[in-house]
Structure 1
Amino acid sequence: MLGKFFKKPSGNNPRVPPGQSLTERFPVLTYGPVPTLKPEQVEVRVFGMAEPATFTWQDLQNLPQTTHTYDIHCVTHWSKLDTTWTGVSIPTLMQHIKVDPQATAVMVHCYGGYTTNLLLDDFNRDLNLLAHTFDGKPLEKDHGGPLRLVVPHLYFWKSAKWVSGFEFLRADQPGFWERNGYHMRGDPFQEERFDDD
């Protein structure tokens, strides 16, 4: 039964994946404690099959900033339309990272120990952001502030909160939820929720 804050999309809305309900709220779903980080404490480390590098908060602020508006979809069946985010686009960041050409995947590491995996082709997309702003305001810590990844074409567990590093890998490996039964990729329009989907 849907709560009062969720509603089934009317008609056949091509923006809403199957099995999803719409919300105007922004539900908070987090595994484990919420880190409390000041922006100046944030560092994003690059390692694995890439030349080691570290991006400080100021380094990221000095890069070109991008704003995108798009829909987001959670594996727990809610979708939120027309969300607006600002940050560094992943292709912009990748211009400053030297990746081994044999790397095919990325493990996203977070403050607090959370991890999630992405194929390199899913990671390095124009709409993906390392975001610090939501709807024109600094990102709240419950939603991943000061800094989170936003990967709008996949279920939102791939949009890791409190990012601390990108580990480039030769082959795809499961992160936290993937080791616990979630799908390795997580395409909402294919309903790739769990590893047997």
Structure 2
Amino acid sequence: MLGKFFKKPDGDMGGRVPPGQALTTRFPVLTYGPTPRIEPNNVEIRVWGLAEETRFTWDDLMAMPQTTHTYDIHCVTHWSKFDTAWTGVTVPELMKRVTLKPGATHVMIHSYGGYTTNLSLEDFVRDLNLLAHTFDGAPLETDHGGPMRLVVPHLYFWKSAKWISGLEFMPHDEPGFWERNGYHLRGDPFKEERYDDD
């Protein structure tokens, strides 16, 4: 039984619903471990690895052009939520200020609290990806990754790391937290890349 907040979609609804997903009007909170509580003025994103080391403060990020995107999001735990609106700095905008070194092919996303997840540069540097601080017109709640999280809407939502604190550029792929614990290295919801044997 899906419950009153979840429903089976009518087909794929024009290609919007990945296989195995139910639609929700809620925004479930799923977090492993304690929830970090960071004040916006303490947010800092460190860049290192195969990139010139630098840091972006909250003020640095707020001074960059801000973009709002509306898109569907999909969780590996089988829920999808349509038409979510996020505001923040696009990853390509941030990357204009990052100097990569030769050989960088992947990035490990680091979060306050120790969470990590991996992305290829191809998946990371997409126009729709955001460092988001606002959800549906309001400051992003702490439980949902506030004051700032990564949003990568084309992959399962565990790739959209909450409480982002760092970008470590790497010469090859490496598993992050959930990937080391059995999740797929990439996580395409339309291919049902949920677990490492998928």
The bucket for the TM-score relative to the shorter chain is over 0.9
Query: SS state of the match for residue 40, structure 1?
Result: helix
Consecutive unaligned residues of structure 1, counting only runs of 5 or more, are none
Aligned to 1:73: 74
CA distance in 2, matches of 1:157, 1:36: 19
Note the alpha carbon deviations across 1:90-149, whole angstroms, 9 max, x for none. Answer: 000000000113100000000000000000000000000000000000000000000000
Consecutive unaligned residues of structure 2, counting only runs of 5 or more, are none
Amino acid corresponding to residue 53 of structure 1 in structure 2: T
Note the alpha carbon deviations across 1:44-79, whole angstroms, 9 max, x for none. Answer: 000000000000000000000000000000000000
Aligned to 1:7: 7
Aligned to 2:142: 141
Q: Does 1:126 align with 2:127?
A: yes
Aligned to 1:94: 95
Q: What TM-score comes out, normalization by structure 1 length? A: 0.99
Aligned to 2:166: 165
Deviation at 1:42, TM superposition (A): 0.3
Amino acid corresponding to residue 180 of structure 1 in structure 2: N
CA distance in 2, matches of 1:170, 1:131: 26
C-alpha RMSD of the superposition? 0.5
1:8-47 map, 5 Å: 8-13=8-13, 14-47=15-48
Deviation at 1:4, TM superposition (A): 1.6
Q: Does 1:153 align with 2:154?
A: yes
Deviation at 1:2, TM superposition (A): 1.1
Deviates more, 1:118-127 or 1:4-13: 4-13
- Number of residue-to-residue matches in the alignment: 197
CA distance in 1, matches of 2:100, 2:67: 23
Deviation at 1:12, TM superposition (A): 3.2
Note the alpha carbon deviations across 1:4-57, whole angstroms, 9 max, x for none. Answer: 210000133110000000000000000010011110010000000000000000
CA distance in 1, matches of 2:102, 2:91: 17
